[in-house]
Chains A and B, each alone.
Chain A
């Protein structure tokens, strides 16, 4: 269900040259200094390198305030468009630092649907094989009656481990490119404030706490609020999985868990939160200005949002139909989605938060050091 890769071949030299051209204009202007930390960070870099531009792009929270404030947006001949430029550079970031770089092409919607279907068929086959044909007849609400426990761990675990390894490698490569010293990655205090700023989306608030000018030309908090639904919802479902593992391995309580239990409650709230958040973000996105982002990022946002919707809806449905005969079928569909998602996650917009958190962390490091005289 992850439809489009977010990587792009532009960026690169041409992308950098134009980003630098625009940001040099910004550096002689500096009107946007009050909106977000990108602008003070730009002032600290008067001779821009590709690493600088990558850092600034990932620090940008795409609030669009600067675009609305800028006297030089197209059709002005200076053609300044920071949110678009930064979107371009972010997709270049994802391309550059995720290794191995698999690029899912235009037909990715079809490809993912095929992948999910194929995975579902494989799962059905495996399930039937292992349970000697009984898998799809069970309705005791336990996943392990459908897919054997060890098999499930391997099927879901392998792509998850792959995703984690790829992302860890990306973190190191990104950090070396934008900042240099890996030792600088270990400042506990700075991490605390960085994570605080990231989780609250502090930099998507507009300079005067009025919110960002998205999707139209009025400041609003909607995008930030919906994103919090998605982010916190995601964390809750993550927590739900962890607590289920805890129940199983530490408390020796096997699923299905009762309705009033930590895994079910957190999973349900998290799932609903994500669906609501994604629906809100999708509605906003449709109304937003396409000229302030790139086509690649536009598609990546949409497909990531839809992916989360499908993932969470199937998850929620599995929960609600636990006691019915369709349970095994839905479970298989949901598991197929999960497996495909984990496999392709590093090549989607999913990775945005990894680089964003790093950029915020770097910004914290820079701003807590004594500021050099301007």
Chain B
């Protein structure tokens, strides 16, 4: 499909303009198109890097029965609701969160109908196989299929186009300012869907809430997710939703790039070993949990340590039990040796590990079971509640860790039709939101793996449809 030139794009009154090019944006655009709307989608990135954070994802968490081909068992709405309430301080807006849970059930079918394909759970993620459905080839492949479907459906897509501002006439958005090909343009649409992601790549913004610590964060997704559209909306009087400091983060390899390292840089070794901070001291129960629900704790744990750096240490007993770190490992015949290579005090590191080892159970090795919570604990300070083997068998291994920010929660407040709410009154007439940019309505502080894509899919469908049907005469 050849896209119309800028003069044509700008002279037209679009039924729906979707801002963003990730999961929430494409689901919105396809849903609006399904209702017959003329849709323009505006993506800031180029074709290769299109898809924001969504291109880095791998699965979605939806309610399903035991007949799902891609899951290892049923996952009921009750259970998902319980899981959602069990993280952080629970859902921010109960009604919207419930709606999300319920609507997630029909998401996979919708995805399939719009080109999405699935695969069995990936190795090393078997614990997610029941609750989460994996995309064939991951999020970028999913996004690619959506773009193909969008093109086939006659949705117009503009790449390398950045939204820079909105024009409002009271409650109504009357114009959209964009920059493309070095020029500025003004676009018009009856309805706007904002699906431009969070502000995780905006270090200055994060710094407002986290201070200088934010300077040491790694951002797992693209640097273009700087929240500029969110800022525009808040400025225009949109009501914010969610906590300023709410974000999802994990431990990533400190050697990874500052931006866009994606999934490959995250570190899986923590539960099987120990984590030391800059002073070569332990600071948190490494065996508290394995990935699924608390996947997020280690990003924040490290964010709260001096200089936002930490070091994972393990020994040859557990080597090979987790995904291999992509930058390789530092290894040596003693803890002190590895610590020296990592740049922390070797003597202190050796003391810390020896101190921990003193508290491990004599029969730890016999009871150790990496496939589940084995209850093999150490009453050290802090304790380690599971998988507490003594770290004493050479060779030893270590890697440096940083907090890797996945996405931020704070966004704009919406109602059950995805309409963006105003601080000083009702909703905007014709502005809808989906995805990360409104995830703060649902997530407060914790995170459930796969729920970001569920939010984007559920709310993209709502926003796209409502936008297409809004004010239709």
Query: Is the pair A207, B264 in contact by a Cβ cutoff of 8 Å?
Result: no
Contact with B along A87-126 (1 / 0, CB 8 A): 0000000000000000000000000000000000000000
The residue that A40 contacts in the complex, of B123, B263, B323, B326, with Cβ under 8 A, is B123
Query: Is the pair A32, B137 in contact by a Cβ cutoff of 8 Å?
Result: yes
Q: What CA separation (Å) do A260 and B125 show in the bound complex?
A: 60
Q: Which residues of the other chain, A, contact B117 by a CB distance below 8 angstroms? A: 207-208, 210
> What is the minimal beta-carbon distance from A143 to any residue of chain B, in angstroms?
52
Q: Which residues of the other chain, A, contact B140 by a CB distance below 8 angstroms? A: 68-71
Contact with A along B236-256 (1 / 0, CB 8 A): 000000000000000000000
Q: What CA separation (Å) do A210 and B262 show in the bound complex?
A: 27
Q: Which residues of the other chain, A, contact B136 by a CB distance below 8 angstroms? A: 34-35, 207-208
Which bucket holds chain A's interface residue count? 20 to 34
A177 within 8 A of B: no
B382 within 8 A of A: no
> What is the minimal beta-carbon distance from B220 to any residue of chain A, in angstroms?
11
Q: Which residues of the other chain, B, contact A43 by a CB distance below 8 angstroms? A: 123-124
A370 within 8 A of B: no
The residue that A33 contacts in the complex, of B119, B265, B328, with Cβ under 8 A, is B119
B56 within 8 A of A: yes
Q: Which residues of the other chain, B, contact A27 by a CB distance below 8 angstroms? A: 323-324, 326
Which bucket holds chain B's interface residue count? 35 or more
Query: Is the pair B326, A218 in contact by a Cβ cutoff of 8 Å?
Result: no
Query: Is the pair B325, A28 in contact by a Cβ cutoff of 8 Å?
Result: yes
Q: Which residues of the other chain, A, contact B326 by a CB distance below 8 angstroms? A: 24-25, 27-29
Q: Which residues of the other chain, A, contact B357 by a CB distance below 8 angstroms? A: none
In this complex, what residue of A is CB-closest to B116?
A208
A374 within 8 A of B: yes
> What is the minimal beta-carbon distance from B136 to any residue of chain A, in angstroms?
5
A217 within 8 A of B: yes
> What is the minimal beta-carbon distance from A205 to any residue of chain B, in angstroms?
12
The residue that B138 contacts in the complex, of A71, A73, A217, with Cβ under 8 A, is A71
In this complex, what residue of B is CB-closest to A75?
B48
Q: Which residues of the other chain, A, contact B264 by a CB distance below 8 angstroms? A: 25, 28-29, 72, 78
Query: Is the pair A76, B260 in contact by a Cβ cutoff of 8 Å?
Result: yes
Known: A71-B138, A72-B262. A24 touches B123 (CB 8 A): no
Query: Is the pair A31, B263 in contact by a Cβ cutoff of 8 Å?
Result: yes
A202 within 8 A of B: no
Q: Total A-B residue pairs with C-beta atoms closer than 8 Å?
A: 91
A65 within 8 A of B: yes
The interface residues of chain A, by DSSP majority, are classed as: loop
Contact with A along B115-141 (1 / 0, CB 8 A): 001011011101000000010111111
Q: Which residues of the other chain, B, contact A69 by a CB distance below 8 angstroms? A: 137-138, 140-141, 144
Q: Which residues of the other chain, B, contact A218 by a CB distance below 8 angstroms? A: 148
Contact with A along B31-57 (1 / 0, CB 8 A): 000000000000000001100000110
A77 within 8 A of B: yes
B211 within 8 A of A: no
> What is the minimal beta-carbon distance from A69 to any residue of chain B, in angstroms?
3
> What is the minimal beta-carbon distance from A209 to any residue of chain B, in angstroms?
10
A324 within 8 A of B: no
Q: What CA separation (Å) do A30 and B264 show in the bound complex?
A: 9
> What is the minimal beta-carbon distance from B393 to any residue of chain A, in angstroms?
18
19 A–B contacts from the bound complex (CB under 8 Å): A25-B264, A27-B324, A29-B262, A30-B323, A31-B141, A32-B137, A32-B138, A33-B120, A33-B123, A34-B134, A69-B137, A69-B138, A71-B263, A73-B48, A75-B48, A76-B260, A78-B264, A208-B136, A217-B148
Known: A31-B58, A34-B137. 11 other contacts (CB 8 A): A27-B323, A30-B124, A31-B138, A34-B136, A43-B124, A46-B320, A73-B48, A75-B48, A77-B257, A207-B119, A207-B137
Interface of A toward B, CB cutoff 8 Å: 24-25, 27-35, 40, 43, 46, 65-66, 68-73, 75-78, 207-208, 210, 217-218, 373-374
